Amino acid sequence: MKVKNIVIAGLGGQGVLKASDILADAAFRAGFDVKKSELHGMSQRGGSVSSDVRYGDQVLSPMVPPGEADVLVVLEETQVEINRPTLRAGGVLIGPDLLDPAALKNRKSLNVALLGAASTVLEIPHEHWLAALHANLAEKLHTLNEQSFAHGRAAALARSSAE
């Protein structure tokens, strides 16, 4: 399979890195070659954060080249424009506006909800998403995050059928 490029972006503390860990783990469990890369170190203090995940038969560079992301997931409205250049022409943008904030049981699981939305355009079987969620989150958060994932997935499917 040709390499799939996903960029996840947001602000420090929103769970960008957690989301990219889950995505990379899910792709890994699905048997793909995976590379995931980001710059971190000072992210706890609210600055911009972004993380690249690439998977396929063979991945070389761990960084998504500018303008080559197939999917861009953004957790914070203000971060959409600054990350848009990474998206390729025809790539899919998944932004926080996809979800009604009131519908999420916990704002903290926005990262997982948007992964649910992204899952509709990624070829990773559901069982691997579930396993990756479980492996990367504390047990007491499993139910909440499974719900958020399903919620995001449903919202993306509803939008694409409306379009």
Partner 1 sequence: MTGERQLLSGDEAVALAALHAGVRLGTGYPGTPSTEILETFDQLGGHAQWSPNEKVALEVGLGAAFGGARTLVTMKHVGLNVAADPLFTAAYTDIEGGLIVVSADDPGLASSQNEQDNRHYARAAALPMLEPVDSQQAYDFTWLGFEISERWKIPVILRLTTRVCHAKTVVHPRAAASNIPEPSFQRNIQARVMIPAYAKPAHQRLRQKLVEIAAWNDAEGPIRLDTGRANLGIVATGIAAVHAREAAPKASQLTIGLTYPLPLGRIRTFATGVDRLVAIEEGDPILADALRAAGIPVECKPEMYRFGELNVARVRRILAGDISPEPVPPKGKPPELCQGCSHRGVFEVLRDLGCIVAGDIGCYTLGVLPPFSAMDTCVCMGASIGVGLGLRQVLPEAQARRVVSVIGDSTFVHSGITGLAEMVYNPPATGHVVLILDNGTTAMTGQQEHPGTGRSLDHSPTGKISFEALGRAMGVQNVHVVNAQDKEPSFQDLIVSLLAKSETSLVIARQPCVLAAPKIRVYEKAAAERISPANCAADGVEP
**70 touches partner 1 (CB under 8 A):** no
Footprint of partner 1 on 31-50 (CB under 8 A)? 33-48, 50
| Residues of span 99-138 touching partner 1 by CB under 8 A | none
**Cα–Cα distance for residue pair 111/96, rounded to 1 Å:** 9
Nearest distance from C-beta of residue 115 to partner 1, angstroms: 16
Contact string 36-55 vs ligand SF4 (x = CB under 6 A): --------xx----------
| 66 touches 85 (CB < 8 A) | yes
Q: How far is the first Cα of the chain from the last one, in angstroms, to the nearest whole number?
A: 28
Nearest alpha-carbon partner for 25 in 150, 155, 115 = 115
Q: Around Cβ 126, how many Cβ atoms within 10 Å? A: 12
Cα–Cα distance measured from residue 69 to residue 53, given in angstroms and rounded to the nearest whole number: 9
C-beta separation of 55 from 27 below 8 A: yes
- 71 is in the binding site of which of partner 1, ligand SF4, none (Cβ under 5 to 8 A by kind)? none
Binder of residue 37, out of partner 1, ligand SF4, none (CB less than 5 to 8 A by kind): partner 1
Interface residues with partner 1 (CB under 8 A) are: 11-12, 21, 24-25, 28, 33-48, 50, 59-63, 65-66, 78-79, 81-83, 85
Binding site for ligand SF4 (CB under 6 A): 44-45
